[in-house]
């Protein structure tokens, strides 16, 4: 009896719920999943227009795994970028250190050559090479280069004029020595020469060498050098737009190290460059000037000489 009463009460409750749903569809969101399943077991369909509401749920294991994999991928990409950036910085520092070491090696080699050079007896070409090692390190503008060249020429002209002044004293002594040995010389010149001889403590051998000196010829040669430098200073060749344009086009395709190597190559092959005929190229020439590529070959040839 009790069991029948319980079943009857449950059926009455479900019928009452179904009647409420039919009368008021807004009650559906508040119904439970168990009630809906009970309706389905009783073959009772929900009210027309009823849509089952989405029930919020917590993140599943798949969602957590997917999010974790995305974060891990981002972390790997960030670490890869950091490693690539660090590798690039190390490579840049390595190249910079190697460049500095190369420059220091060049400077040490130049300093060694300068210390080993003996003025008056060593080969001047080696000295020229040693002093020209720092050329090409800077790309100068046309005005800056013209100013530097003019300053160098003015300095050289000053040195030549100093040599001429010093040689003038030698010429005076030469004239006095010749006049003192001449039987018809002026007594006044003889007196001056005697005073100079006592002041300078000239020996008879020095007087004889002075009287046979070719100082006049040397003075003529030095005067020619002075006139040439003066002509260069007054000439407009220092600023030639056509030459500057050609130089800029050539220098633009080279880096400073390559410019330096090219200038050194020109120094080492200066004699061969001077033999080139720029105006009238003769195609019938079977053998032209010899050019060297590399400092070792040049040094070996100079050692053989």
Residues 62-77 pLDDT 10s: 666 777 788 888 888 8
Contacts of 227 (CB under 8 A, 6+ apart): none
Distance CA 34, CA 49 (A): 20
Distance CA 98, CA 91 (A): 10
Q: Which pLDDT belongs to residue 25? A: 47
The model's pTM is 0.40
pLDDT along the chain (305 residues), means of 10: 53 57 48 48 49 52 72 84 82 78 78 75 66 56 78 87 82 69 63 73 74 76 89 77 80 81 79 72 65 55 47
And the tokens for 51?
A: 């849509």
- φ/ψ region of 242 (left if φ > 0, alpha if ψ in -120 to 50, else beta) reads alpha
Q: Which pLDDT belongs to residue 120? A: 67
> For the chain, first and last CA: distance in Å?
138
Residues 112-129 pLDDT 10s: 877 777 776 767 666 666
Give the rounded distance of the alpha carbon of 125 from its chain centre. 27
Domain boundaries, the chain: 2-41, 124-304
């Amino acid at each position: 009896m009790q069991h029948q009463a319980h079943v009857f009460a449950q059926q009455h409750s479900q019928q009452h719920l179904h009647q409420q749903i039919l009368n008021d569809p807004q009650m559906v969101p508040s119904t439970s999943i168990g009630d809906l399943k009970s309706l389905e077991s009783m073959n009772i369909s929900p009210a027309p227009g009823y849509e089952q509401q989405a029930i919020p749920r917590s993140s599943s294991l798949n969602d957590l795994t997917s999010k974790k994999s995305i974060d891990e991928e981002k972390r790997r990409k960030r670490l890869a970028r950091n490693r690539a950036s660090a590798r690039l910085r190390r490579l840049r520092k390595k190249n910079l250190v190697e460049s500095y070491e190369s420059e220091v090696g060049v400077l040490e080699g130049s300093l060694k050559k300068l210390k080993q050079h003996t003025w008056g007896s060593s080969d001047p070409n080696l000295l020229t090479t040693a002093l020209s090692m720092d050329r090409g390190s800077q790309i100068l503008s046309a005005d800056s280069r013209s100013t530097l060249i003019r300053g160098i020429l003015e300095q050289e002209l000053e040195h030549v004029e100093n040599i001429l002044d010093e040689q003038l004293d030698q010429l005076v002594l030469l004239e006095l020595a010749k006049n003192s040995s001449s039987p018809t010389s002026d007594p006044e010149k003889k007196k001056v020469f005697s005073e100079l001889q006592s002041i300078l403590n000239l020996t008879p051998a020095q007087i004889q060498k002075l009287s046979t000196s070719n100082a006049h010829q040397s003075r003529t040669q030095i005067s020619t050098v002075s006139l040439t430098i003066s002509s260069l200073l007054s000439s407009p060749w220092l600023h030639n737009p056509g030459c500057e344009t050609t130089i800029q086009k050539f220098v633009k395709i080279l880096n400073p190290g390559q410019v330096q190597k090219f200038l050194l190559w020109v120094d080492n092959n200066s004699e061969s460059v001077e033999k080139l005929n720029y105006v009238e190229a003769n195609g019938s020439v079977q053998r032209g000037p010899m050019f060297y590529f590399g400092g070792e070959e040049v040094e070996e040839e100079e050692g053989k000489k």
